[in-house]
A and B are shown apart, each in its own frame.
Chain A
Amino acid sequence: DTGVSQNPRHKITKRGQNVTFRCDPISEHNRLYWYRQTLGQGPEFLTYFQNEAQLEKSRLLSDRFSAERPKGSFSTLEIQRTEQGDSAMYLCASEDTEAFFGQGTRLTVV
């Protein structure tokens, strides 16, 4: 257990529905990252928060994706109007001098 908690662990949704994932980082870590991982690939960066400020977003993050980190604590990642191509593992990492990952949320869009 790295201390980074992600919920839910699995999510199956129908195409076109909205989904929201939650990440609770290690409490003293200011930096929080979201990554996406597809089968056979390494994690790909999506977005990054320093405290409550979203400092960087990848080109992978389309307009249907939005992330928040209110009060610099937990973070949420929302995907609107899901598409089959959104099926992946969504990973959250929190960082001080090293990045620790949660167990991920496996999203399946049917």
Chain B
Amino acid sequence: GENVEQHPSTLSVQEGDSAVIKCTYSDSASNYFPWYKQELGKGPQLIIDIRSNVGEKKDQRIAVTLNKTAKHFSLHITETQPEDSAVYFCAASISGYSTLTFGKGTMLLVSP
């Protein structure tokens, strides 16, 4: 089955800096890669996703890149704000066929 590894496990940045979280996956058939943000005591919230037919997707301060050859995908957050502090999870699946497999999460702390 799919295995997703996520790094780093914790990331501390100053407000206004950029943050990058990286994931690798093992199943070359995976074609859907969402990112979720989870705040304490809440369920994961979908923030952005990418499908294998594109290499990059942006939504305001958030971007995701995908390298299918290397089986890597990354989340980039620019101009970080304290409210970006949360745990971020990457996931992978074969869209419409398999369930999501999640990484172990990255705790992002943005200091004012």
The tally of residues in A whose CB lies under 8 Å from a CB in B reads 22
Contact, CB under 8 Å: A41 / B101: no
Chain B residues, Cβ within 8 Å of A4: 43
Is the Cβ of A48 less than 8 Å from the Cβ of B105?
no
**How many residues of chain B are within 8 Å of chain A by beta carbon?**
21
Chain A CB count within 10 A is highest, among B6, B49, B99, for B99
Q: Which of A1-50 contact B (CB under 8 A)?
A: 2, 4, 6, 33, 40-45, 48
Interface pair B34/A42, CB less than 8 Å apart? no
Interface-centre pick from A42, A97, A101 (highest chain B CB count, 10 A): A42
- Chain A residues near B95 (CB-CB < 8 A): 97
A16 to chain B, nearest CB (A): 27
B38 to chain A, nearest CB (A): 9
Asked if residues B89 and A42 are in contact (CB atoms below 8 Å), the reply is: yes
Interface residues of A (CB under 8 A from B): 2, 4, 6, 33, 40-45, 48, 56, 91, 97-104, 106
Query: Residues of B with Cβ closer than 8 Å to A?
Result: 4, 6, 34, 36, 41-46, 49, 89, 91, 95, 99-105
